[in-house]
Amino acid sequence: MPSPLRKQNDLKRKAQTRVCLLDAAAKIFARSGYHPPRIADIVAEAGVGQGTFYRHFASKRAALDALFDRFFEKLLRGFAQLSDHLPEDQAAYREASLDVVRRLTDVLQAERELVLLFLRQGPAVDAAFEEKMSAGLDRFADLARFYLDHAIAQGFARPCRSDLVAQALVGMALRMVERWLSGRLADQQIEAAITELVDFAFFGFCRQEGEKS
């Protein structure tokens, strides 16, 4: 009969090892992609034995799942209180949009390597993982659509197929993020890019009637 103290310590140690392995996996996957690395690479990076990996994850695939869950939970946490109060005119809407995007970029930048990992490797892992990621992205699309519908209802956005537009916004975002985080943005002025693209989303690229040149 083990003492409760002993049991707690064991659990804590085990949890530490798990974190250690996840961090190592993230590093390795970020460096070489998901498929190429061997379990041996991950445990070497983590500094534990081969068998230890299998005490914590059934397979490389399971570790990736755990990694994604940890990441996505963190990502969502930043948007929990978002829908508390909705903007009531176009200017406020634009401010709120800029605010959301900025907050998003902060998280993404903090997890740069993981983001790139999932963006590139995610859809190629297997059908189940693609589905999981797809569901995650759809949650963001739904959020965008919800906001868009609000704006339409308020009258400061024009009626449109908000489902399509929301997905288009997600598409824009994904590509810009991927280019930004992989260092392919023309200049790395992310702030300027954000403004530019929010304006593009709000007003399109056409010169409007009465717009000053």
> What does 19-41 look like in DSSP terms, one character per residue?
HHHHHHHHHHHHHH-SSS--HHH
Q: Is 67 buried (19+), middle (13-18) or exposed (0-12) by CB count in 10 A?
A: buried
Q: Does 11 bind DNA (CB under 7 A)?
A: yes
What does the per-residue mask of binding to DNA show for 53-92, with x meaning CB under 7 A? xxxx-xxx--------------------------------
- Provide the CB-side half-sphere exposure for 95 (13 A, CA): 7
C-alpha distance from residue 18 to each of 3, 41, 155 (Å):
23, 16, 51
CB 71 within 8 A of CB 112: no
Write out the two tokens for 200.
């593009």
AA letter at 157: A
Q: Does 2 bind DNA (CB under 7 A)?
A: yes
Residue among 31 and 77 whose Cβ is closer to a second copy: 31
What does the per-residue mask of binding to a second copy show for 78-117, with x meaning CB under 8 A? ------------x---------------------------
Q: Does 204 bind DNA (CB under 7 A)?
A: no
Considering CB distances under 5 to 8 angstroms, the limit depending on partner class, which of a second copy, DNA, none binds residue 200? a second copy
Write out the two tokens for 131.
């589905």
For DNA, which stretch binds (CB under 7 A), given 37-45, 81-89, 119-127, 136-144? 37-45
* Binders of a second copy in range 148-207 (CB under 8 A): 148, 151, 155-161, 163-165, 167-176, 179, 184, 186, 192-193, 196-197, 199-207
Residue among 41 and 163 whose Cβ is closer to DNA: 41
Q: With CB under 7 A as the rule, give the number of residues binding DNA.
A: 27
Q: What is the DSSP letter of 211?
A: -
Candidates 61, 74, 64; CA nearest to 24 is 64
Residues that bind DNA (CB under 7 A): 1-2, 6-7, 9-11, 13-14, 16-17, 37-40, 48-56, 58-60
